[in-house]
Amino acid sequence: MTSEILISVQELSRSYAQQKAIENVSFNVHRGEILGFLGPNGAGKSTTMQIICGVITAHHGSVNIAGHDINTAPQLAKNHIGFLPEQPPLYYDLTVNEYLNYAAKLRGIKKNELTNKVNLSKERCGLKNVGSRLIQNLSKGYKQRVGIAQAIIHSPPVIILDEPTSGLDPIQIREIRELMRELGKDHSVILSTHILSEIHSLCNRVLIIDQGHIVLDQRLDQLENGSIKPDSVEIGLRNPPKLESLLCIEGITSVERINEEVFCINFNQESNMIDTIVKKSVFDNWGLFKLKPRGASLEETFMRLTHGDIEQLEKNNIK
């Protein structure tokens, strides 16, 4: 990618008391990228996001937003950020309009642009009909939308959303995803989520963080196109042979029987085991009906990466 780098994070480390939250986290985000931030609870997603937005400071490392360092030029850098924390930062005793007006002014929007910006943001987040309602009377989904509305109100080049779709119903989730896809065209968006399908449908790059370390940083299309070689497949055979005869095939390291017809096969990546299986299936009439590589999907990768085994993965996959 050659487009402009909007977020540059270098070697961030941060600890809470004695507990290390993140260590040596570095990545860049370009304009037009939607970066999915993935990780189990407590992995350091929120910490990283809060550091990028200047809510907390890093103990080591630097953050650069659109060319401005968050520590040495915080005002300039923060002008370029829209942030939605995990809990939407709402004043429950204000109406949606009052709140958005306040948020817009905080972000330095001029008086003559105020109404326009507020209306645009309301429209984008589907809040047109609730403008004069008190925030405390809104449902959780609407509160979440107000939270998103305040983050995009000043159309910042960098939008950082911590679990933006939590608490929304499926229709709202669709709308919000649509909105983010639109925003992703000419902004940089970082969003954290637990929902893997969200990453699939939305992001063009994924970053997996576990126990404070980045364990994967890859474009989604590369990930899907098998840049991570599968080392296990699921095969379904209508007339399965004995387990032993499967084990005899060169390259297979272990076979696990999932049910009568389906097996999970671990194999040596260098071998052409799959060819052999397909041939054998034809000759011996095994009735092959399913052949699915495992370990290449985002979910598999996520599971593998966040359950220990980091070293091996770093060897195999990370640039």
Partner 1 sequence: MISNIKLIAINELRRLFKSPFAWIILAIMQFLMAIFFYLLLSQYLEASSVTSGLTDIVVSGMYQICGIILLLISPLLTMRLITEERRLGTIKLLVSSPITITELVLGKYFGIIIFYCLILLMISLMPISLMFGTQLDLGQIASGLIGLLLLMSTFAAIGLFISSLTSSPAIAAISTFGVLIFLWIINYAGINASESVAEVFSYMSLLKHYTSLLTGVFSSVDVLFYIIVSVYFIILSIWRLDAERTYS
> Which residues would be at the binding site for partner 1 (CB under 8 A)?
16, 50, 53-57, 59, 74-76, 78-79, 81, 83, 85, 87-94, 98, 102-103, 105-108, 150
CA distances to 80, 121, 253, 284 from 156, rounded to whole Å, are: 5, 12, 52, 63
3-state secondary structure of 176: helix
Least distance from C-beta 197 to partner 1, angstroms? 27
Q: How far is the CB of 281 from partner 1 (least distance, A)?
A: 58
Q: How far is CA 149 from CA 36, 54, 179, 182, in A?
A: 20, 20, 11, 14
Q: Which is nearer to partner 1, 81 or 127 (CB)?
A: 81
Strand residues in 165-210 grouped as ranges (E): 188-193, 205-210
Residue 277 CA to residue 264 CA, distance in Å, equals 13
Task: Determine the residue type at 58.
Answer: A
Is residue 16 classed as helix, strand or coil in its secondary structure?
strand
- Secondary structure in 3-state letters for 28-91: EEECCCEEEEECCCCCCHHHHHHHHCCCCCCCEEEEEECCEECCCCHHHHHHCEEEECCCCCCC
**Using CA atoms in the order 148, 187, 37, 125, what is the torsion angle rounded to 10 degrees?**
20
Q: Which is nearer to partner 1, 77 or 208 (CB)?
A: 77
Q: Please identify, using beta-carbon distances, which residue of 102 and 289 lies nearer to partner 1.
A: 102
Q: How far is the CB of 120 from partner 1 (least distance, A)?
A: 19
Supply the minimum distance, in Å, between the C-beta of residue 57 and partner 1: 5
Least distance to partner 1, CB of residue 141, Å: 17
Distance of CA 225 to the CA centre of its chain: 18
Determine how β-strand 68-69 pairs with β-strand 60-65: antiparallel
Q: Which is nearer to partner 1, 137 or 222 (CB)?
A: 137
For the chain, first and last CA: distance in Å? 16
Nearer to partner 1, 2 or 75 (CB): 75
Q: How many CB atoms lie within 10 A of CB 191?
A: 27
Min. distance of Cβ 253 from partner 1 in angstroms?
48
Nearer to partner 1, 87 or 227 (CB): 87
| 88/236 with CB nearer partner 1 | 88
Closest approach of Cβ 44 to partner 1, in Å? Answer: 15
**Residue placing its CB nearer to partner 1 in the complex, 38 or 158:** 158
Tell me how many degrees the CA angle 38-60-34 measures, rounded to the nearest 5.
Answer: 30
In whole angstroms, the minimum distance from the beta carbon of 54 to partner 1 comes to: 6
Eight-state DSSP code of residue 138:
S
